[in-house]
Amino acid sequence: MKKRVVVTGLGALTPVGLTVEDFWKAITEGKSGVDNITYFDTAEFDTKFAAELKGFDPLNYMDRKISQRIDPFTQYAMVASDMAIADSGLAEGSYNKDRVGVIYGSGIGGMWTYHKQQNILYERGGKPDRISPFFIPMLIADIAAGRISIKYGLRGPNYATTSACATSANSIIDSVMIIQRGDADVMITGGSEAVICPMGVGGFNALKALSTRNDAPQKASRPFDKNRDGFVMGEGGATLVLESLEHAKARGARIYCELKGIGMTADAHHITDPSPNGEGVARAMKIAIADAGIKPEDIDVINAHGTSTPPNDRNESAAIRSVFGEHAYKMNVHSIKSMVGHLLGAAGAVECISAILSIRGGMVPPTINYEEKDPDCDLNYTPNTAVRRTVNTVMSDNSGFGGHNTAIIFQKYEE
């Protein structure tokens, strides 16, 4: 028998709020975190807006020495994890540190660090003597997981996942499997990203993946809308504390919900485009439903990947129809990327937090900026206004460049 896994702690830094509470309030009110980029001069860029982490100052959370030796993506990871651990009620000395692990991902890693250190190299005429000795430890994508484990002395399984926009969903899935097989009692898991920088925006512009709706930035992220023209880059970090049910009960933890089912597949199709009709996503959903031991019609809500790109939204909608049949039209489907943008490697984790809070709060956040129906996207996307309803079971799905697909099912906890 696989161990049951529950969620006991949440932490989030997002473009619409620097706490879980502020994040939830903003997305249920349909507020957008998108605006013109302030981090660098965008005069020569096709896209001049993004969903920045507004109001974040690392010195409010850590000392200056540490803040200068870690990339923003690691800052976000550490702060979100501090929040989640505090929220979980895990107290020093109340758990076996050998039995607590960290799996924490980033789709790209320290891109700001690479940008700044490369500029130093060029300014020195190619002489490497001014490159920081912290350059590599700041850059590598696994350093967030390492830093979190070092801070708390957590000696269980520790590594990073990197699967583009499915990264933090894969982190969560790996953490579930580690608990289920008995290799850890508690896992700190999630993802972070900080690539609103010249190479990040320029690179995605070169790929023609970003919206260029510069005249109306807050209207740019419009998942499933007929006039969508690309995704909006976001940034931030999100962390979940997962525990085996017996460990959580033994310490009297507050349980948000149960993590009921997981699924992973590959498209094996194309480096950036999804497989036709969302076939890979559909298989991940079916695997997660089977793993949860439930029927498709037991799902109340789908927290969709919903990137606001023409191929993703069309194929994801097809995947949902193929898995759920007529029930596809009875569920609420929604995309919080319409408000927070696409957090890339952190997207899965922040969307899982939204899914969990939908169960706790009996509320489905809206897909804002939904104005004109696309014939290929004909589901109930919870347009523009949050919906109150009983939510027992939510599926969150994510996909990433390279053909990675994930599906995670959360369910209201019952003894």
- Which residues form the catalytic set? 165, 305, 342
Instruction: Using only the alpha carbons of the chain, give its radius of gyration.
Output: 20
Q: Residue 217, Cα to own-chain centre: how many angstroms? A: 21
CA atoms within 13 A on the CB side of 16: 26
d(CA 384, CA 381): 9
Strand extents, DSSP E, 176-235:
186-193
CA distance 143 to 141: 6
Do the strands 236-244 and 186-193 form a parallel or antiparallel pair, or are they unpaired?
Answer: antiparallel
Q: How far is residue 311's CA from residue 274's CA, in Å, rounded to a whole number?
A: 7
Which H or E run contains 158? strand 158-159
Q: What is the dihedral of CA 410, 50, 40, 19, to 10 degrees?
A: -40
Residue 192 and residue 241: Cα distance in Å, rounded? 15
Q: Per the structure block, which two tokens stand in for 284?
A: 């991940």
Structure tokens at 58: 């690392």
Dig out the tokens for 410 from the structure: 């959360």
398's enclosing H/E stretch is strand 393-400
Please say whether the beta carbons of 194 and 14 come within 8 A: no
Burial annotation 237-271 (CB, 10 A radius, 16+ → b, else e):
bbbbbbbbbebbeebebeebbbbbbbbbbebeeee
Rounded distance, CA 290 to CA 190, Å? 24
Rounded to the nearest 5°, which phi and psi values hold at 18?
-100, 15
